[in-house]
Every structure is written in structure tokens, then in C-alpha cells.
Chains A and B, each alone.
Chain A
Amino acid sequence: MAVKGKVVWINGPAVKAEGMAEAKMYETVEVGQDKMVGEIIRITGDVAFIQVYESTSGLSPGEPVYGTGHPLSVSLGPGMMGTIYDGLQRPLDKIAEKSGAYIQRGVNITPLPMENSWKFRPSKKKGDEIEAGSILGVVKETPLVDHKILVPPTVSTAKVLDIVKEGNYSLEDTIATVQSSGKKLDLKMYHQWPVRKPRPYKERFDPEVPLLTGQRVIDTFFPIAKGGTGAIPGGFGTGKTVTLHQVAAWADSKVVLHVGCGERGNEMTEVLVKFPELKDPASGRPLMERTILVANVSNMPVAAREASVYTGVTMAEYYRDMGYDVVLVADSTSRWAEALREMSGRLEEMPAEEGYPSYLASRLAEFYERAGRVTALGSPERIGSVTLIGAVSPSGADFTEPVTTHTIRFIRTFWALDTRLAYSRHYPAINWMTSYSGYLDYIEKWWSKNVDKEWSHLRGEAYQILQREDALKEIVRLLGPEALPDEEKLVLDLARMLKIGFLQQSAYDEVDSYSSPEKQIRLLKIFVDFHHQALSALRGGTSLGDIRSIPIIPNILRAKFDIKSEELDKLDKLKEETSQAFKALSTKPEVKAVA
């Protein structure tokens, strides 16, 4: 019997109910006459503290509270791809069909399209042994994603008694009957999983393969690995959302989860408008066919914001279990932390720093721990990964605030957005001195094996130019650039060229928006070569002024816009022309003399 209690106190999304001694921690409940969804987050005596996921406006003490017996769960099965959900996995288009352009509360909708029929192709047969996580068959969910129908992780070793033939079935149809520890179980094409509980796997690996994002400063300088973790902190307007949109659009992963957590409504709309038009670079198919959105924007109920990241990561793990690489971007984890803070405050818990609850760090740790590259349960054997990338919105762009400092402890790639760079319109405003990647060692091997043996060396040389410029900047600020010897002035020039022609990347330019790894490395080579040749020209007596007026420089700086990722020959040609230009330079004095 599920519990039935009574509301005794209401303070915004925080509600207390009595008569709840039988209730379980994290059980979902239905609150009040309107049956709003809530979750029990603390129990003292027979009083349960409930965070309510919908507006409690108009709720009164004395109204009933019904237990459901279940923790907050998501439904996992075909039909999720391309959908935009709220934080509780309710499809927003279906909500709109019921309540119009504005969201009303108490809307009860199934997460998956129960009326749809899917063409199921079995991959097991009668008599087969199966276990938790085994693949029963496949459904083509979208042209980009084959949805593997998995045995729920809660089923132990079993034997297939019956399985349907290839054909069209709806989600409620039984597709297989299995015998498991003496019991008969009917399996469907979907199952439920509690969002706060990580889905189990067999084994975890080191992340070795880069997640290629097509963003030069990321892939070349601060790469993230498939199955890795990353954070992108920055003040308002520094480019967190644009960068995450770029990652979601161009990452070479099979599935993308985009969690909009306490941010702007229009940003989710933008994804809904653009992603169906953008094409996946590998397959040429619309990006929406591999994307799921979870949107709990800033003016939607704050408690559901807290749930939304868990809803998202559980769906991500589910696709991982099919053997896919999945990337989840969460914008912004600070809003999620603020939701924690708000609930904690209303429950009058003892705050730690800046009003955040003392469990902030452990919640962040638990979240990022759900990233990883793993072998999934069941047969056949397969490897999948979940990459987690979180935006952080520090108040006053101050990176010493609690959410940023705690996040740093649990992530390995750090893309520090710099307000000053953003003000000067250097986008992405990722600061190359303070950002880092903890995956370089692994990823280096991948690049030299798959793209270019020289990668590590070129990257190092380019990075050194940037580092030297950073050191020289102080002198320039005090004495002006003329105080430097020519070779150091050249370093400043090169750094400026690298910034304009390589680091800066416009998300809104059709060509520049995405750079293939091959384009990245060729561009990088042009700059590094330029430095070598300029240096030997200087040493050979050419003036810096002559080097600076080489007419090919603007072409180099515009190459990122002018040359597409697939036009590698044009990049090779540009490199050749640059060498020619230097050759012409060294013969110039004689030319002059003749003239």
C-alpha cells in the first residue's frame, strides 16, 4: 500500500507533509488535489520534506499527499531521439498540445510515444541464454541511430522462452518472454530506471580516444576524451552556451544529450530551429536525428531543474549501454547547484560556503563520476562512453566561488573563459594560459597514429609561442614593443597571427564553424613554418618590416574562412606559397638593385 499523508507547510517548492512514516527516501509523491509531482528529500519522524516539481501556488495545508512507491525514474526505449523534454522527461510538444504556449501544472503525459509502432528485428532466438544488458533486437529509431533493445539491468541470467518475429510492435507489446530464477518475465521494448542511480556496466577503461569537436582551440590545444569530463566556466556572455552548442553540433559522437538547466528559453528554441537544418559531418543527416534535449529553463520550476541533469545523464547512460559514444552537455551546472541551494535554504539546513549546502561537492562528484568509457553488461560485448561537459556560471566571473572550485576537483579538462578575451571579441574566449587538458598523453598517441606523426611537436611549438608572448606582454605593457629585439617582436607577431588565424573561430561562419582534424593540423603547420622561415630570414638580414609586409599574410589569416575542411590541397598550396614568399624575400635586395 502506498502512503497517504497530508500537507502541513508550504514555502514555495518546499512542502512538508505528515503521516508519512512509511514513505521512502527519494520516493516520488503526488501532492495536492492537482497531483503535482514531488520527491521526498528528507524524513523526520512522520514528517516528509518534499520538493515539488511544479508551482505550488494555490496549495493549502490539509491537502493530500500520495506516495507512488517508486523513486523518480525515466522511461527508456525507442522514441526519445529528437525529442525535447522537461526536467521530468515530459515531452514539451505534448505538454503544449494540452496546455498551449504556456506550461500549466499537473499535466500527466507518458515520456515515450506509446501509440507508435516500431519495426523490431530480433537478434536472439528461443532457447538463447541472456543476461542483464543483453541485446534482444534492434529498432531503427532514426536514420542515424539503431536503437538496441536491452534486457533491463535488473534481470539476472535468463533463458528466452519466446521472442517475437521481425515485425511492427508498439512499446506495450511483449516482445520476449524469459525464464529468470524460476520466474517468467515478459519483456517490452522499454524499461524504467531511477535517475539518481547510475546504470551498471562491466568494466571501466581509461579514455584514450579524443572526442573531436571541430573546434581548433579544443581539439588541438585542450582536447577532451570520449568518456571524459570537462567544465567550461565563464562570466555572462563569454561563450559557454555557444561553445556547448558547437560541441553538441559537431562532436563525433553517436548521440548527443543537451541539457538546458535553468538557462534561456530562446536558447533551447535555437537548437530546435537549427539542429534539424545542420548536417552531421560524417553522415550528412540532420543533427536532430541524434540529439535529445532536456529543457528546464530558468523560469520553469526550480526543483525540476535539479532533477533535469539526472534525467539527462540517465538517458545518456542508456545509449552508452547500447555501445555508443554519447556526449552530454549541461548548461549550466551552476543553476543546478543554485536549485540545491534554494531547497536547502527553504529546509533551513546549515549552509556551507555562500549559502550552498555542505553536500554540494559530493553531488558534483557523483554527477561527473557518471562519465566514463565502459564495456556494457550482457552480450554481445560492446564498448560505449558518456562524456560529460558542464558549463559553470560563476557569480561575478570569479572562479574562486564554490561551484567552480568544487567542479575543478572532479573534471579533467578545463576550458577557462576569459571576460577580457570576450570583450575584445576573441571567440571562443578560452584562455590558453589557464585552460588545461588532463587527457593529452592519451590523445597524443591517437593523433600521431591517425592524423599526423608531427602533431605533438607542432602543438608544442605553437603553444610555446603563445607562452612566450604571455611572458613578453608584461615588458611590452611597461616599455612598448619597440623595446624588444626583433626576434621577440616576431614572437609577438606570430602570437597575434595564431590568435587571429587559428585560435579565434567563429561559430557563425559556415566554413569556420567546423574544422576537421586534417584542416587543423595543416593550418597549424602553416603558422609554425612561417615562424621558422621568418626567423631564418631575420637572421639572414631581412628586416622585420619586410617580413611584416609579405602580401600573403592576410591570406593565411583568412584561410580558416576561405578554405573548407575538405579542400586540403588548397591548404597545402597556401603553405607552398608561403615558402615561395619567403624565398622571394631573400632575393629581394638584388631585385631592388636591378630596378
Chain B
Amino acid sequence: MPSKGSGGIEYTQIQEIKGPLLIVKGATKATYDELVEIECRGEGKKLGRVLEVGGGLAVIQVFEGTTGLSVAGTKARFLGRTMEIPVSDELLGRVFDGLGRPLDGLPEPVGHDFRDVNGAPMNPERRDYPTDFIQTGVSVIDGMLTLVRGQKLPIFSGAGMPHNMLAAQVARQATVRGKGEDFAVVFGAIGVQHGEAAFFKKTLEESGAIKRSALFLNLADDPAIERIITPRVALTAAEYLAFDLGMHVLVILTDITNYAEALREISAAREEVPGRKGYPGYLYTDLAANYERAGRIKNKKGSITQMPILSMPSDDITHPISDLTGYITEGQIVQGRDLFRKDIYPPVSVLMSLSRLMKDGVGKDQTREDHMEVSNQLYDAYSRAQELRALAEIVGKAGLSGVDLKYLQYGDIFEQKFLKQSYLENRTLEDTLRLAWEALSILPTSELTKIKDSYVKEYYTPEEKKE
């Protein structure tokens, strides 16, 4: 029978428990999306959310999993509100679990406000188009995949590749030239191993950024369904820091693949018609609800830059998770197995990678006047080099013309000098562009069709011209 407690309405009739779902009977006052507190003898309190309501039944997704719940003796208290977290500047320097509860032994931060973790869609008319160049000190990113403030740029990776290192390097080195503004890092771990989370924490500690960071950790052995909430909690915190407190927030979410798997689990338990590979048909919309929480707002100081990480099952970029992510984010940094095997760090497959916001973040005012054209030429020439490499495998180098051989040489220098750098190396933009020109100067000028003559005159320095 329902009873009104201190907060919300309690129901005790459980109709069914299946997978992560709890179905409550007689819940006539339940509302869609409502937060539910579930209590069962000896199990402590669990949290859940209403997914469907009608005909006296409420279907609840239990974040901590239904293990240990029984039909008899389980009480569900409907709290009359959606899930919220307290937000304030006290979030910084703290570590929370995947639902936003303190993990560091300190008390719950005093909230200046409470925010619905689902957020609300940003009005496109109020968005400010992102154009501020972020220097990451990583040549391939700064030179060819420029990141700007307010962008969502994921790393597509595969098992065993150094995506965490690359994200950590970006988090450590990112600066906006000429600006010493407030920054913050929000880190959301979604079903990753302890070691990976510890690595990020250590990196943030070493660079001193930990005081300006908020960590939300759902680790591999934490409840799977909680993973649906973790990015939402992290992004809610980020929105507060960015748009209430005016900070420039970098959000790193890893690993989105685990997130999507949790969604699939719920969908399967609800016996929904699956889309590709068993993932629900609404995976796109669901991912978008998270990714679109990046950006800038007119007349507000802060920004949210997102760098989600996802591991592609079998390195397959057409897998639904990477595919749908690519359809939402503003580009992607793809790590390639072949480069990784060649021991090149960062092993970024430049041809498959893209930064869609680069064009407005580079040029005379933000970086250098030749930047965009240099980048276009680097891509073009590398693509040609790759074609010729494949050809040389078959016909041998003898079957190639002199210019073709120059392209092969360019390909090697590009990989070994421009792309490859150390995890600890923080290159200036000038260094990056110098290395780019060094590689391009291997080619005869007649091949540089993407670059204006005047830039070629200024920056082209073939080997023989150097003193």
C-alpha cells in the first residue's frame, strides 16, 4: 500500500524483477523519469529511475543493479523529482562515484544549487560559435586536427592503444595562447579499470591540475547500469563550472563503449526492437543528449570542451558506437593499429581523423596565415604517399617516378618527425608548423598546389637551401 513518507510516496508491491529492471505494482502516482529510492533488507539503499509508467505499473531501472532484491520486502520510494546533484565550486578537487556521491571520505559538497542531471537542450540561437584555438602541444592535433574551445572531439581507439596517454597529454598541456583564464578538468570514468582511473588521477596530481578537477568514477567492478548516469553527472558539474562560474572546462569521458553497452542491457531487458548489433534504435539520440552538452553560450565566459574516448570493438570504425559518435561529434581523432605497431606515438591515423571546427580556429588572427593551407597540403601529400606505398609494395620502387619517390620520402619524414613525439614533449605551434614545412619541403614546389605562392616563397626550405 502506498504511504507518504518524509520525501515521496512509498510502494511495496513488486510485480517483477528482471535484469536491471524492477516493476512496481499499484504505483498510480508515479511520474515518468522520476527518481526512486529502493530499499531491501540487508541491501542498503539503491537508486533508480522510472522508464515507463501506466496501468498501475512503473518500470524502474535500478542503477546499482537488482542483485539481492526480492519481490517480498523491497520498498520503492518515489521521490517526486528527477535525479539531481548539488553543484558549487566545492566540486573541484574532489572525487565522486558514478552517481556523484563522495568517494574521498569528505562530506557531500555544499550545493549552491541542485541541477537535474539530464540537463536541457541548449538553444542553438544562443550558442556562440567556437573559434578559440587551444594549443595542445601535440603536433598532429595542433597542426592538422585543431581543437577549439567548446568543441566535442572524441578519440577513437582500440584495445591496448595509448588513448589515455593522449587525452592526459592534452589535459596537461592545453593552453589558449595569450590567455590566462580559469580552467577546470572534469573526468568521467565509465566502467574503466582501476589502473586507468589511477593513471588520470596521477597525471592531474603531477601537473597540479587536481585542485581544479572533479573526478567521477564508475570503475569496471562498479554497477553497470550506473554508467548511464555517470556522464550525465559529470556534464552537469561541467555545465555549472562553465556557465555559472565562467570556467573553461575540459571534459574527458572514458570509455563510451561501456556506456553504450549499459544502454543495450536495459534495452534488451525491456525487450525493445533492436537496431544494429543489438543496440537500441535510440542510441544516436541518447549519445547526442550527452555530446551536445559541449559548447559555448553567447555572453557567457566559460566553455565546455569534450574529449570522449571510445574503444572500437575489433578496431572497426563502422561499429555502431563509433559510427553514431562520429555522426554527432565535431570530428574524431582516430588511432591506427599500423602506426601503433610502428611504435609511433601518438599513433593518429590522420586520414581517418578530422576536426570540423578547425577552419575557424586557425589563420592569421588565431595561429598563422598559412596554417590552413599547410594542413590541407599535409593531408593531400600524405594521402598520395599512402597510395604510392601500396603501389610500391607491388611494382617495387623501380616502377615509380622521381616525384613519386619524393612522396615516399615525405611520408616517412611526416610520420617520424611531425607525427611522432614524446608523451612529455610540449611543442609550440611555431615548432609544429616548422616541422610541417620541413616535411613539405621534400616535395618540389610544383606539387604544393594547395598553398599560395607567397607562403611557399616564405616558408619552403628544401634541404639544399639550408645552410
Contact = CB atoms under 8 A, between A and B. Distances in A.
A397 B318 contact: yes
29 contacts: A9-B55, A58-B82, A60-B31, A61-B28, A61-B53, A62-B28, A99-B123, A101-B122, A101-B297, A101-B300, A102-B119, A236-B323, A265-B122, A265-B127, A266-B130, A268-B127, A295-B124, A299-B285, A302-B282, A335-B284, A345-B281, A351-B273, A395-B275, A395-B320, A425-B380, A479-B395, A483-B395, A554-B446, A554-B449
B391 A265 contact: no
Given A10-B54, A338-B281, A424-B351, 18 more contacts: A9-B53, A9-B55, A60-B32, A100-B126, A103-B121, A265-B295, A266-B124, A266-B295, A269-B125, A273-B129, A335-B284, A338-B285, A395-B324, A425-B351, A425-B376, A425-B380, A425-B383, A480-B394
A96 B55 contact: no
B183 interface: no
Interface of A: 8-12, 16, 55-62, 84, 92-93, 95-96, 99-104, 235-237, 260, 262, 264-266, 268-270, 272-273, 295, 297-300, 302, 335, 338, 341-342, 345, 351, 354-355, 393, 395-398, 423-425, 476-483, 500, 506, 508, 553-554, 557-558, 561
A103 B123 contact: yes
Contacts of B327: 236, 393
Given A60-B30, A237-B354, A338-B281, A298 B292 contact: yes
Interface string B274-293: 11100001101100110011
A538 to B, nearest CB: 17
A355 B273 contact: yes
A10 B53 contact: yes
A477 B326 contact: no
B281 A11 contact: no
A355 B379 contact: no
B202 interface: no
Contacts of A553: 446
Contacts of B120: 55, 102-104
A434 B51 CA distance: 45
A101 B53 contact: no
A345 B449 contact: no
Contacts of A354: 275-276
B34 interface: yes
Contacts of B298: 101
A8 B54 contact: yes
A430 B314 CA distance: 29
Nearest to A348: B273
Given A59-B31, A60-B53, A397-B318, A338 B121 contact: no
Contacts of B383: 423-425
- Leading 6 A-B pairs by shortest Cβ distance: A9-B54, A480-B395, A298-B288, A396-B318, A236-B326, A480-B399
Given A60-B29, A345-B272, A355-B275, A264 B379 contact: no
Contacts of A477: 391, 394
A299 B124 contact: no
B108 interface: no
Nearest to A396: B318
Contact of B449 (A55, A423, A500): A500
B461 interface: no
A57 B32 contact: yes
A16 B33 contact: no
A16 B281 contact: no
A478 B400 CA distance: 13
A270 B129 contact: yes
Contact of A269 (B33, B129, B394): B129
A393 B354 CA distance: 17
Nearest to A501: B449
Tell me which of A8, A11, A235, A298 has the highest count of chain B C-beta atoms within 10 A of its own C-beta: A298
B467 to A, nearest CB: 27
B72 interface: no
Interface in B57-111: 82
A80 B452 CA distance: 42
Interface string B314-334: 000011100110111011100
